[in-house]
Amino acid sequence: MPRICEKSATMETVITHTVGGILAGGDSSRMGTSKSLLVVDGMSFLERIHRTMTAVFTEVIVCGGSEIPSDGVLIPDEQPGHGPVGGLLSALRIARGRPVFVTTVDMPVVTSEAIRSLAEPEAQGSTVRIAQVAGEDQPLFGVYGPDVEPIARTIFDEGRRSVMAVIDEVDDVTRITIDSSTLFNVNTRSDYNVLIERYGL
Amino acid sequence: MKIRLADDEIRIRLNHDDVVRLIDGGTVDCVVMPGAYSIRMTTSAHTRSEVGFTATGIDLTIPPGVLPDNPNEFEPHTWGGDAGHPRVMIELDKQRRPRTRSG
């Protein structure tokens, strides 16, 4: 059974210009239990993603939810239960004028290499750079420039909860193809079973 | 150490080693945002605990009298927020085991 391996980050520069954000505020309704605490290959999803992110960024925050990884910082959602736009807003607010890279807690096998392919170079203005898998946009794995904050705020205040609504309002969007296995997304117990069969508990 | 930052409350969960360091008279630092915001905890001979807010962080002084002999018996400690500052809570992190499939 393969282990989830990461290349050593010791030879790579840690990114300081961008804040890493882990969106963990979902209610995991289809899973029926908190996805942050699910385990793969001996580590919870949240701890695993946090470890990967802290190897890439000097600043990593968890947006939403209630679990905090070791040596982690949690920023509760402004309004819990209002979708990922709220988490994106929290990250942009904390970043104070810097871009943010966001990923979600239900993609536990993301690699630092995939993150770097999107987070470097620094996203200026309202630049957005998101992953694309098999032709499908993955807006919850990407980097958002600081000027996206007012756009996301408007979308949020209008009651729209899809990050794609934010993407639709931005002119400068770059899509980068990422391998589907890297962005394996766990939403249901059957998804989780596939992950466990692949990597073990 | 784990930190939960909200507008009106900062909750700091110390781990066992952090409490040991405080009991030994040491300092526990946490850089929340490098170059921007940090939290520093120290002990002092003063009998009162103190919390100080600066533009770049929080300084907490914990008197030795509130520190237990056994780190696992560290009691939660709270400073009430005032003057627009958030409430600050320190507690011992209860290490929970992650859930497995059985939930």
Chain B residues inside the 8 Å CB shell of A64: none
What is the distance, to the nearest Å, from the Cα of residue A113 to the centroid of all Cα atoms in its chain?
A: 14
Sorted by where each begins, the domain ranges of chain B are 2-92
Domains of chain A by start residue, with CATH: 19-199 (3.90.550.10)
The answer on pLDDT for B100 being more than 70 is no
Residue A135 has pLDDT above 70, yes or no: yes
pLDDT at residue B102 in the model: 46
B97/B99 Cα distance (integer angstroms)? 6
- Nearest by CB to A75, from B5, B13, B99: name it: B5
Burial (CB count within 10 angstroms: exposed 0-12, middle 13-18, buried 19+), residue A133: middle
Q: Which residue has the higher pLDDT, B80 or B101?
A: B80
Of the pLDDT bands very low, low, confident and very high (cuts 50, 70, 90), residue A161 is confident
pLDDT for B44 equals 74
Summarize the confidence of residues A170-188 as an average pLDDT. 92
pLDDT tens-place string over residues B38-56: 888 888 766 677 888 887 7
Q: What interface predicted TM-score (ipTM) does this complex get?
A: 0.72
**DSSP β-ladder status, B50-54 and B57-62:** antiparallel
Percent of chain A clearing pLDDT 70 (strictly above): 95
Task: Flag whether pLDDT at B99 surpasses 70.
Answer: no
**Mean pLDDT over each residue of chain A, to the nearest integer:** 90
The model's confidence at residue A1, banded by pLDDT at 50, 70 and 90, is low
CA distance A102 to A105: 10
Mean pLDDT computed over B51-66: 83
Contact B99 A32 (CB under 8 A): no
pLDDT for B35 equals 62
Q: What is the model's pLDDT at position B103?
A: 41
Nearest by CB to B1, which of A32, A33, A71?
A: A71
pLDDT tier for residue A48 given thresholds of 50, 70 and 90 = very high
DSSP for A113-148, please give it: HHHHHHH-SPPPTT-EEEEEETTEEEEEEEEE-TTH
Question: What's the pTM value of the predicted model, to 2 decimals?
Answer: 0.85
Which residues of chain B does A39 touch, with a Cβ-Cβ cutoff of 8 Å?
98-100
For A29-57, what is the mean pLDDT?
91
Query: pLDDT per residue over A75-127, tens digit each?
Result: 888 778 788 999 999 899 888 899 999 999 999 999 999 999 999 989 999 89
**pLDDT band at residue A9 using 50, 70 and 90 as cut-offs:** very low
Partner residue opposite B98 with nearest CB, options A37, A72, A94: A37
Query: 3-class DSSP state for residue A2?
Result: coil
pLDDT recorded at residue B93: 87
Average pLDDT over residues A53-66: 93
Please give the interface size between A and B, counted as residue pairs whose CB atoms are below 8 Å apart.
Answer: 54
